[in-house]
Amino acid sequence: MNSPVNPFEASASALGYLYQLRVALQRCVELSRGGIEWSVAIEATDDVQAQMGSRTELTQLKKRADNVRLTDLSSDLWKTIRVWSQAVTEKRIDLAETSLYLITTAELPEGSAGFFLQPKATGHRDKQAAADLLVQARQSSKSETLAKAFDAFDALDERRRAELVSRIEVIGDAPGMDEIRNDLLGYASLAVERRFADAFLQRLEGWFFERASVQMSSPGSDPVTGAEFDELFTDLRSQIGEHNLPIDRDIFDLTATDPAAVDAADKIFVHQLRLIGVGTERIGYAVRDWVRAFAQRSRWANENLVRTGEIGAYERRLVQEWESRFAEMREELGEEATEEEMKRQAKLIYRWVDHDARMRIRPNCEEVFVTKGSYQMLADELQVGWHPDFTARLAALLEPTGAADGRS
């Protein structure tokens, strides 16, 4: 019988995973300040592995509850030492070119091995004292839980053990999830205006988490490189600013079959297209543009990326561009035009929207679904239309049965 799943264990595991991703992203940001000649991998040789030329950083992460202490017999400490000791024995790492970091949210008790392995800048680093404490701890313990870690440590001769310990730095009381995000937010505010920093970071995290997921799900796949991170960072920065707006990948991928478009068949803009004889396939494209524009504009508004009244002003521009063409069409048709002629001319107006109308909400926001989908939104509100008599025709078509002859 399967063991029941403990939801608290699953939650802790998920938090640990998110912590790992956020620390990795923070390291990418730090490295990007110095150039693009680097790479970062997750769950490769270690939790986070950074490569800068011939130099390697291996980082073990331990996210623990409040008031947890990293003692000399802590399983977090010895499991980490086991991983690194085995990597040395199996010659998977070259200590001369490798820095080893144990980052933990646990407290480092004063006088402990972890305490003496803190970075030099703390003023507490004493490699020999730490090595002596580790040996004493190992010799004093009969723990079966730590037996494999002790065996791995014992497998190193004295010189290799000393070299291993000299490469280790322990960072205790490490920043938690929120503190790291605040740090990233501060960096984002240097890349874009402070009011856009959160939107910028959301997209940066979204890309990085997806990229890391791909890397972890395919053993041997390429790590995140400095060049691709720089390209993504630059692209995001250009999208979020005074002259542009971001186009989000998840929204760009929406289709007419997306659940958000499930009721589109009854929308007024679809009836407008049927009224002039637009085919099913093209109506599908219109629904796709509508659902994308609706979702993207809503997200912009929710994230305060658009100014107050900006979307309204954009829609007025779209309506004004349509008005002159629509008026010209009706003028040329006159009062005696046949239904066939009216539909033919209406299709030309819609063709203009589909192929030529490219008014941008901001100068550098070039994505066409914004314009085309916005026109469908306006058509849905009957602010624009294609058939010369679209208002009257749709009123008759959409009013409840019996309303027209007073039977309702």
Residue whose pair of structure tokens reads 């309204």 in the numeric block: 312
Cβ neighbors of 99 (< 8 A, separation 6 or more) are: 55, 56, 57, 58, 167, 169
So what's the pLDDT on residue 382?
96
Distance CA 285, CA 269 (A): 12
So what's the pLDDT on residue 401?
53
pLDDT tens for 180-204 read 999 999 999 999 999 999 999 999 9
Distance CA 53, CA 197 (A): 31
Closest CA to 126 of 135, 137, 117, 114: 117
**Would you say how long the chain is, in residues?**
408
The parts of the chain modelled with pLDDT lower than 50 are 1-5, 7-8, 402-408
So what's the pLDDT on residue 16?
84
Closest CA to 188 of 237, 227, 242: 237
- Runs of H (alpha helix) within 33-126: 75-89, 113-116
So what's the pLDDT on residue 404?
43
Distance CA 181, CA 201 (A): 9
The continuous run of DSSP H or E covering 55 comes out as strand 55-62
User: For residue 28, what are its two tokens?
Assistant: 């990418």
Distance CA 235, CA 246 (A): 9
Distance CA 177, CA 276 (A): 55
So what's the pLDDT on residue 79?
96
* Single pTM value for the model: 0.81
